[in-house]
Amino acid sequence: MRPGGRTSRTRAAVFDAAMAELAEKGFAGTGMEKIAARAGVATSTVYRRWGGLTGLLQDLVDEITLDVQLTDAGPLAADLAQIARVILLLNRHPVHRPWMDAVVTAAVHDPAARQVLTRTIRRRIDGTAPIVARAAQRGEIPADTDGDEVIRMLAAPFYYRMYISGEPITDDLPDRVAAAVVAAVQAGTLRRTH
Amino acid sequence: MRPGGRTSRTRAAVFDAAMAELAEKGFAGTGMEKIAARAGVATSTVYRRWGGLTGLLQDLVDEITLDVQLTDAGPLAADLAQIARVILLLNRHPVHRPWMDAVVTAAVHDPAARQVLTRTIRRRIDGTAPIVARAAQRGEIPADTDGDEVIRMLAAPFYYRMYISGEPITDDLPDRVAAAVVAAVQAGTLRRTH
């Protein structure tokens, strides 16, 4: 059943409230009661629908990222730069970034958070690797290129700066990393090994 | 003044004790008093020398990583694979990994931890980028290759797996990533932009 009418409006109101709460107070200061109050719906409705804060935020983050429309007109460097720019935007997003900070921190010690993060990344790889496959179909790159690994190589330098080196992410990084990854692909260094 | 004699023995005993504590109890369970007791030295001695747990662990982690002797005989792919294997070993190290987990987690919200991690990564880049410069001197790669960026591209896929995707790091990853990065360098995509 697709949500519509009142259900759809509730969903939108709760998401708006959750985004406002997260942006204002960060992950630690955000609770189901406050979100429900801000959205003008009963707390029980929010719990019934999402189970808890983790479920609600997962759904919200999925919606943020699924909203993004990617094109794959080629050449591959342009398509990959586009994906990298989405990573950059998510990194600066007032809801996505606090969510990501919270889940990365929790994932180090909490298997449930680890699972949420791994599943989220898995879905993003699954959603973008077909763009690499189509470049192979166009004959731009070797047919046995490992699309998953291409996406990992593309994404890794952004997360490395965010959570490891702490160095700034400059606006030219998407184009630079995309060009580097395409060169690696074209040289045949990112083929499937199995 | 270089440490020697009793000072040197104290340092070794405290480092051994800190490693044992970290390996057994993780970062959260490790304290200065327990380390001092295990090392058989006065707690005041440990505080006077390192200021606190952060300073002690920073010094210890520096010693672990500075112990590593890197060669740079070329070709660059072999030298980079060697650096990547060190990252892999540190990731599996009984002290380095808990330290890294703790500092990555803390760095998200704590500026002091952020500074420790950024400084540590900076030192590692400074320590390994000359290997890229020497490949340029040998004429293997473009003269204006950005050595810092080469090291970042090499390291990022490992940290991405550890802290973001949670996917396993396989033993063939150092060679695979090194080959990909060298292809990107040789195509001229990792030149200095300034």
Both A56 and A113 in one domain: the answer is no
Contact A157, B156 (CB under 8 A): yes
Pair B24, B93 in one domain: no
Q: Give the model's confidence band at B180: pLDDT under 50 very low, under 70 low, under 90 confident, else very high.
A: very high
Are A89 and A107 found together in one domain?
Answer: yes
For B1, the enclosing helix (H) or strand (E) is none
* Least Cα separation, residue B61 to chain A (angstroms): 15
Q: Is A179 on the interface with B (CB under 8 A)?
A: yes
Amino acid A38: pLDDT: 96
Q: In the predicted model, what is the mean pLDDT of residues A36-46?
A: 95
**B25 vs A contacts (CB less than 8 Å):** none
Higher local confidence (pLDDT), B16 or B152:
B152
pLDDT band for position B111 (cuts 50, 70, 90): confident
Six-digit token string for B48: 């006077």
In a domain, B166, yes or no: yes
Would residue B192 count as lying in a domain?
Answer: no
Rounded to an integer, the average pLDDT of A169-188 is 97
Residue A52 burial class via C-beta count within 10 angstroms: exposed 0-12, middle 13-18, buried 19 and up = exposed
**CATH code (residue B54):** 1.10.10.60
- Establish if B171 touches chain A: CB-CB under 8 angstroms: no
Strand, helix or coil for residue B146? coil
The minimum CA-CA distance between A74 and chain B, rounded to whole Å, is: 19
Give domain status of residue A82, yes or no.
Answer: yes
A101: nearest CB among B108, B160, B161? B108
Q: Which pLDDT band holds residue A157 (cuts at 50, 70, 90)?
A: very high
CB B27 within 8 A of CB B101: yes
Q: How many CA atoms lie within 13 A of A160 on its CB side?
A: 23
Residue carrying structure tokens 């189509």: A134
Residue A2 has pLDDT above 50, yes or no: no
Task: Tell me, yes or no, whether A149 and A53 share the same domain.
Answer: no
Q: How confident is the model at residue A1 (pLDDT cuts 50, 70, 90)?
A: very low
Same-domain status, A55 and A88: no
Residues 6+ apart with CB under 8 A from A1: none
The answer to whether residues A98 and A34 belong to one domain is no
| pLDDT on residue A67 | 66
Give the CB-side neighbour count of residue A40, counting CA atoms within 13 A: 6
- Write down the pLDDT at residue B137: 96
End-to-end C-alpha distance for chain B, whole angstroms: 39
**B44 and B58 co-located in one domain:** yes
Q: What does the pLDDT average to over B16-44?
A: 87
Task: Please check the confidence at residue B4 and state whether its pLDDT lies above 60.
Answer: no
A134 & A114 share domain:
yes
A window 141-160, beta carbon within 8 A of B = 149, 152-153, 155-157, 159-160
Domains contained in chain B, number: 2
Range from A18-22, A150-154, B40-44, B184-188 carrying the lowest mean pLDDT:
A18-22
**Lowest mean pLDDT, pick from A41-45, B61-65, B99-103:** B61-65
Pairwise pLDDT comparison (B71 vs A83), residue with the higher score: A83
Is the CB of residue B170 less than 8 Å away from at least one CB of chain A? no
- Identify which of A98, A92, A90, A87 has the alpha carbon closest to the alpha carbon of residue A23: A98
Closest CA to B97 of B27, B12, B6, B167: B27
Complex confidence, ipTM = 0.86
Q: Is there a single domain that holds both residue A89 and residue A148?
A: yes
Q: Which of A194, A178, A183, A191 is nearest to A83 (CA)?
A: A178
**Across A15-24, A70-79, B22-31, B185-194, least confident range:** B22-31
pLDDT at A164: 97
Output the CA torsion sign for B49, B52, B57, B62: negative
CA-based torsion, B137, B143, B147, B151: positive or negative: negative
Q: Which structural domain, as residue segments, surrounds residue B148? A: 66-186
Between the CA atoms of B83, B89, B93 and B96, what dihedral angle is there, to the nearest 10 degrees? Answer: 20
Tens of pLDDT, residues B67-84: 677 888 889 999 999 999
Q: Work out the mean pLDDT of chain B and round it to a whole number.
A: 90
Is there a single domain that holds both residue A102 and residue A181?
A: yes
Report how far residue B173's alpha carbon sits from residue B67's, in angstroms, rounded to the nearest whole number: 23
In a domain, B86, yes or no: yes
Between B122 and B21, name the one with better pLDDT. Answer: B122
pLDDT in tens, B81-96: 999 999 999 888 888 8
Same structural domain, A22 and A43 = yes
Q: What is the CATH number of the domain that holds B104?
A: 1.10.357.10
Yes or no: say if A127 and A120 are a contact pair by the CB < 8 Å rule.
no
Pick among B91, B189, B192 to test the A interface (most A CBs inside 10 A) = B189
Instruction: Using the 3D structure, point to which of B63, B87, B110 is the last residue of a domain.
Output: B63
Residue B33 lies in a domain: yes
pLDDT of residue B159 exceeding 60? yes
Cβ atoms within 10 A of the Cβ of A51, count?
13
Inspect the interface and report whether the beta carbons of A109 and B118 lie closer than 8 Å.
no
> Is residue B38 located within the same domain as residue B129?
no
> Which residue would you say has higher pLDDT here, A48 or B193?
A48
DSSP lists the bridge partners of residue A145 as: A191
pTM of the model: 0.87
DSSP B71-136: P--S-HHHHHHHHHHHHHHHHH-TTHHHHHHHHHHHHTT-HHHHHHHHHHHHHHHHHHHHHHHHHH
Closest CA to A148 of B76, B130, B161: B161
